[in-house]
Chains A and B, each alone.
Chain A
Amino acid sequence: MRQAGTYSGILSGGISGKTGPHLLPLARIKKIMKKSGEDVKMISGESPIVFSKACELFIKELTQRSWMVTMQGKRRTLNKEDVASAVMATDLFDFLVNLVSESGNSGEAPPPLELDTFTSS
Protein backbone atom coordinates (compact mmCIF):
# COMPACT_ATOMS: atom_id res chain seq x y z
CA MET A 1 0.00 0.00 0.00
CA ARG A 2 1.38 3.34 -0.97
CA GLN A 3 2.26 5.63 1.87
CA ALA A 4 0.92 9.10 1.55
CA GLY A 5 3.64 11.52 0.71
CA THR A 6 6.09 8.91 -0.51
CA TYR A 7 5.50 9.91 -4.07
CA SER A 8 3.70 13.21 -3.74
CA GLY A 9 6.43 14.68 -1.58
CA ILE A 10 9.03 13.86 -4.17
CA LEU A 11 6.80 14.89 -7.01
CA SER A 12 6.23 18.29 -5.49
CA GLY A 13 10.00 18.65 -5.39
CA GLY A 14 11.62 18.42 -8.73
CA ILE A 15 15.30 18.26 -9.34
CA SER A 16 16.11 21.51 -7.61
CA GLY A 17 13.67 20.84 -4.80
CA LYS A 18 12.31 24.29 -5.44
CA THR A 19 10.26 23.98 -8.59
CA GLY A 20 7.46 21.66 -9.48
CA PRO A 21 7.73 18.72 -11.85
CA HIS A 22 9.94 19.62 -14.76
CA LEU A 23 9.50 16.55 -16.90
CA LEU A 24 9.71 16.58 -20.63
CA PRO A 25 6.84 14.75 -22.32
CA LEU A 26 7.94 11.19 -22.91
CA ALA A 27 5.50 10.57 -25.75
CA ARG A 28 6.91 13.53 -27.65
CA ILE A 29 10.47 12.32 -27.11
CA LYS A 30 9.46 8.93 -28.42
CA LYS A 31 7.89 10.55 -31.48
CA ILE A 32 11.07 12.46 -32.24
CA MET A 33 13.13 9.31 -31.81
CA LYS A 34 10.91 7.40 -34.24
CA LYS A 35 11.10 10.13 -36.81
CA SER A 36 14.88 10.16 -36.70
CA GLY A 37 15.16 7.20 -39.01
CA GLU A 38 13.36 4.27 -40.58
CA ASP A 39 15.60 1.86 -38.72
CA VAL A 40 14.15 2.91 -35.39
CA LYS A 41 11.52 0.30 -34.96
CA MET A 42 11.04 -0.39 -31.31
CA ILE A 43 11.93 1.69 -28.32
CA SER A 44 12.15 0.33 -24.80
CA GLY A 45 10.10 2.00 -22.09
CA GLU A 46 13.18 3.35 -20.37
CA SER A 47 14.59 5.06 -23.47
CA PRO A 48 12.44 8.20 -23.42
CA ILE A 49 13.11 8.46 -19.69
CA VAL A 50 16.87 8.36 -20.23
CA PHE A 51 16.50 10.87 -23.06
CA SER A 52 14.39 13.12 -20.88
CA LYS A 53 17.31 13.38 -18.50
CA ALA A 54 19.83 13.67 -21.32
CA CYS A 55 17.86 16.51 -22.89
CA GLU A 56 17.73 18.27 -19.57
CA LEU A 57 21.51 18.07 -19.24
CA PHE A 58 21.92 19.17 -22.84
CA ILE A 59 19.61 22.17 -22.48
CA LYS A 60 21.38 23.22 -19.31
CA GLU A 61 24.83 22.96 -20.82
CA LEU A 62 23.95 24.83 -23.99
CA THR A 63 22.13 27.47 -21.96
CA GLN A 64 25.13 27.95 -19.67
CA ARG A 65 27.45 28.34 -22.61
CA SER A 66 25.05 30.71 -24.35
CA TRP A 67 24.75 32.78 -21.22
CA MET A 68 28.50 33.27 -21.15
CA VAL A 69 28.22 34.86 -24.58
CA THR A 70 25.36 37.04 -23.34
CA MET A 71 27.45 38.21 -20.42
CA GLN A 72 30.38 38.89 -22.69
CA GLY A 73 28.09 41.28 -24.53
CA LYS A 74 27.07 42.83 -21.22
CA ARG A 75 23.48 41.92 -21.80
CA ARG A 76 20.84 40.29 -19.68
CA THR A 77 18.69 38.81 -22.39
CA LEU A 78 19.85 35.55 -23.88
CA ASN A 79 19.10 35.67 -27.57
CA LYS A 80 19.36 33.17 -30.38
CA GLU A 81 22.65 34.56 -31.63
CA ASP A 82 24.15 33.73 -28.25
CA VAL A 83 22.98 30.16 -28.68
CA ALA A 84 24.47 30.07 -32.16
CA SER A 85 27.78 31.43 -30.88
CA ALA A 86 27.89 28.83 -28.14
CA VAL A 87 27.29 26.09 -30.69
CA MET A 88 30.06 27.39 -32.95
CA ALA A 89 32.47 27.59 -30.05
CA THR A 90 31.88 24.04 -28.82
CA ASP A 91 33.30 21.13 -30.78
CA LEU A 92 30.85 18.74 -29.16
CA PHE A 93 27.96 20.64 -30.70
CA ASP A 94 29.24 20.40 -34.26
CA PHE A 95 26.11 18.49 -35.19
CA LEU A 96 24.14 21.67 -34.55
CA VAL A 97 26.24 23.98 -36.69
CA ASN A 98 24.07 23.70 -39.78
CA LEU A 99 20.93 24.10 -37.73
CA VAL A 100 21.97 27.37 -36.11
CA SER A 101 23.43 28.64 -39.36
CA GLU A 102 20.06 28.17 -41.03
CA SER A 103 18.56 30.40 -38.41
CA GLY A 104 20.26 33.32 -40.09
CA ASN A 105 22.97 34.10 -37.61
CA SER A 106 23.69 37.69 -38.47
CA GLY A 107 27.40 37.33 -37.89
CA GLU A 108 27.29 40.25 -35.52
CA ALA A 109 27.73 37.96 -32.57
CA PRO A 110 30.93 38.47 -30.61
CA PRO A 111 33.88 36.26 -31.47
CA PRO A 112 33.45 32.77 -30.09
CA LEU A 113 34.91 32.11 -26.69
CA GLU A 114 37.17 29.19 -26.04
CA LEU A 115 34.27 27.50 -24.35
CA ASP A 116 35.81 24.04 -24.45
CA THR A 117 38.00 25.07 -21.56
CA PHE A 118 34.86 25.87 -19.61
CA THR A 119 34.23 22.33 -18.49
CA SER A 120 36.71 20.68 -16.26
CA SER A 121 36.77 16.93 -16.04
Chain B
Amino acid sequence: MAENAGTSGTTSNNGNSVGFKEQDQLLPIANVGRIMKQILPPNAKISKEAKETMQECVSEFISFVTGETSEKCKKERRKTVNGDDICWALATLGLDDYAVPLKRYLLRYRELEGEHKPAANHDKVAIVDNCNVEDGDNMGPLI
Protein backbone atom coordinates (compact mmCIF):
# COMPACT_ATOMS: atom_id res chain seq x y z
CA MET B 1 0.00 0.00 0.00
CA ALA B 2 1.59 3.22 -1.13
CA GLU B 3 1.89 5.98 1.43
CA ASN B 4 1.52 9.54 0.34
CA ALA B 5 4.17 11.63 1.96
CA GLY B 6 2.69 14.32 4.14
CA THR B 7 -0.90 13.28 3.66
CA SER B 8 -3.08 11.31 5.94
CA GLY B 9 -2.61 7.58 6.08
CA THR B 10 -5.89 7.18 7.84
CA THR B 11 -7.82 5.76 4.92
CA SER B 12 -8.52 2.10 5.47
CA ASN B 13 -8.73 -0.56 2.80
CA ASN B 14 -12.48 -0.48 2.44
CA GLY B 15 -12.46 3.23 1.70
CA ASN B 16 -13.82 4.49 5.01
CA SER B 17 -11.71 7.38 6.17
CA VAL B 18 -11.38 8.44 9.74
CA GLY B 19 -11.06 12.01 8.68
CA PHE B 20 -8.63 13.70 6.39
CA LYS B 21 -5.73 15.30 8.20
CA GLU B 22 -2.21 15.95 7.15
CA GLN B 23 0.18 13.71 9.02
CA ASP B 24 1.82 16.69 10.66
CA GLN B 25 -1.51 17.48 12.31
CA LEU B 26 -1.49 14.13 14.06
CA LEU B 27 0.72 12.75 16.77
CA PRO B 28 2.81 9.80 15.55
CA ILE B 29 0.86 6.56 15.51
CA ALA B 30 3.71 4.68 17.17
CA ASN B 31 3.70 7.02 20.18
CA VAL B 32 -0.07 6.92 20.46
CA GLY B 33 -0.12 3.14 20.16
CA ARG B 34 2.54 2.79 22.81
CA ILE B 35 0.56 4.82 25.33
CA MET B 36 -2.59 2.84 24.54
CA LYS B 37 -0.71 -0.41 25.13
CA GLN B 38 0.47 0.80 28.55
CA ILE B 39 -3.06 0.81 29.89
CA LEU B 40 -4.27 -2.43 28.31
CA PRO B 41 -3.67 -6.04 29.40
CA PRO B 42 -0.68 -7.72 27.77
CA ASN B 43 -2.80 -9.94 25.53
CA ALA B 44 -4.90 -7.06 24.19
CA LYS B 45 -4.63 -6.13 20.54
CA ILE B 46 -5.36 -2.80 18.96
CA SER B 47 -6.48 -2.45 15.39
CA LYS B 48 -4.67 0.03 13.19
CA GLU B 49 -7.91 1.90 12.63
CA ALA B 50 -8.41 2.24 16.36
CA LYS B 51 -4.97 3.82 16.67
CA GLU B 52 -5.75 6.13 13.78
CA THR B 53 -9.02 7.12 15.41
CA MET B 54 -7.15 7.80 18.62
CA GLN B 55 -4.66 9.98 16.73
CA GLU B 56 -7.54 12.05 15.40
CA CYS B 57 -9.16 12.27 18.82
CA VAL B 58 -5.96 13.49 20.46
CA SER B 59 -5.46 16.20 17.87
CA GLU B 60 -9.05 17.26 18.36
CA PHE B 61 -8.47 17.30 22.12
CA ILE B 62 -5.45 19.56 21.71
CA SER B 63 -7.33 21.91 19.38
CA PHE B 64 -10.38 21.97 21.63
CA VAL B 65 -8.45 22.85 24.77
CA THR B 66 -6.17 25.29 22.95
CA GLY B 67 -9.23 27.09 21.62
CA GLU B 68 -10.39 27.69 25.16
CA THR B 69 -6.96 28.88 26.30
CA SER B 70 -6.57 31.31 23.44
CA GLU B 71 -10.02 32.77 24.18
CA LYS B 72 -8.92 33.36 27.73
CA CYS B 73 -5.66 34.98 26.64
CA LYS B 74 -7.50 37.15 24.18
CA LYS B 75 -9.89 38.40 26.86
CA GLU B 76 -7.01 39.10 29.20
CA ARG B 77 -5.05 40.70 26.39
CA ARG B 78 -2.17 38.33 26.70
CA LYS B 79 -0.31 36.99 23.71
CA THR B 80 1.26 33.91 25.20
CA VAL B 81 -0.57 30.73 26.17
CA ASN B 82 1.03 29.18 29.23
CA GLY B 83 0.67 26.04 31.32
CA ASP B 84 -1.71 27.65 33.80
CA ASP B 85 -4.06 28.56 30.95
CA ILE B 86 -4.11 24.96 29.83
CA CYS B 87 -4.93 23.74 33.34
CA TRP B 88 -7.65 26.35 33.62
CA ALA B 89 -9.13 25.35 30.28
CA LEU B 90 -9.18 21.69 31.25
CA ALA B 91 -11.05 22.50 34.46
CA THR B 92 -13.46 24.79 32.59
CA LEU B 93 -14.22 22.07 30.06
CA GLY B 94 -15.10 19.62 32.82
CA LEU B 95 -11.79 17.78 32.66
CA ASP B 96 -10.93 18.36 36.33
CA ASP B 97 -9.53 14.88 36.53
CA TYR B 98 -6.74 16.09 34.30
CA ALA B 99 -6.42 19.63 35.63
CA VAL B 100 -5.51 18.60 39.17
CA PRO B 101 -2.60 16.25 38.42
CA LEU B 102 -1.41 18.52 35.62
CA LYS B 103 -1.17 21.47 37.97
CA ARG B 104 1.14 19.41 40.17
CA TYR B 105 3.09 18.33 37.12
CA LEU B 106 3.45 21.94 36.02
CA LEU B 107 4.58 23.06 39.48
CA ARG B 108 7.21 20.36 39.55
CA TYR B 109 8.37 21.30 36.06
CA ARG B 110 8.71 24.94 37.11
CA GLU B 111 10.64 23.95 40.21
CA LEU B 112 13.04 22.03 38.03
CA GLU B 113 13.41 24.97 35.71
CA GLY B 114 14.67 26.95 38.64
CA GLU B 115 16.88 24.22 40.07
CA HIS B 116 18.76 22.89 37.09
CA LYS B 117 20.68 24.40 34.29
CA PRO B 118 18.59 24.57 31.13
CA ALA B 119 18.45 20.94 30.10
CA ALA B 120 16.77 19.52 27.03
CA ASN B 121 13.02 19.58 27.57
CA HIS B 122 12.79 15.82 27.36
CA ASP B 123 15.14 15.48 30.34
CA LYS B 124 12.89 17.61 32.46
CA VAL B 125 9.79 15.79 31.32
CA ALA B 126 11.33 12.47 32.31
CA ILE B 127 12.23 13.80 35.75
CA VAL B 128 8.79 15.28 36.28
CA ASP B 129 7.24 12.03 35.11
CA ASN B 130 9.11 10.30 37.86
CA CYS B 131 7.29 12.30 40.48
CA ASN B 132 3.88 11.90 41.88
CA VAL B 133 1.60 12.18 38.90
CA GLU B 134 0.11 8.72 38.78
CA ASP B 135 -2.01 7.41 35.98
CA GLY B 136 -4.66 6.57 38.48
CA ASP B 137 -4.98 10.05 39.89
CA ASN B 138 -8.64 10.88 40.23
CA MET B 139 -9.57 8.09 37.91
CA GLY B 140 -11.27 4.92 38.95
CA PRO B 141 -9.49 1.58 38.68
CA LEU B 142 -9.94 -0.54 35.59
CA ILE B 143 -12.22 -3.38 36.51
Contact = CB atoms under 8 A, between A and B. Distances in A.
21 contacts: A7-B119, A14-B126, A16-B38, A24-B28, A31-B25, A32-B62, A33-B62, A36-B70, A43-B80, A54-B86, A61-B97, A64-B39, A78-B44, A78-B46, A80-B50, A83-B53, A95-B93, A96-B60, A99-B60, A103-B17, A103-B18
Nearest to A32: B62
Contacts of A14: 126, 129
A59 B54 contact: yes
Interface string A59-98: 1111110111010000011111011100100011101100
Interface string B21-62: 000110110011011101110011111011011101111111
Contacts of A59: 32, 35-36, 39, 54, 58
A44 B36 contact: no
Given A66-B50, A95-B60, A96-B60, 7 more contacts: A24-B35, A28-B24, A36-B64, A39-B74, A47-B85, A54-B61, A59-B36
Nearest to B94: A92
B26 to A, nearest CB: 8
Contact of B123 (A11, A28, A37, A121): A11
Interface residues of A, number: 74
Contacts of A121: 97, 138
A39 B66 CA distance: 10
Nearest to A77: B45
A22 B35 contact: yes
A29 interface: yes
A103 B19 contact: yes
Interface in B1-27: 16-19, 24-25, 27
A43 to B, nearest CB: 5
B121 A26 contact: yes
A107 interface: no
Given A50-B86, A77-B47, A36 B56 contact: no
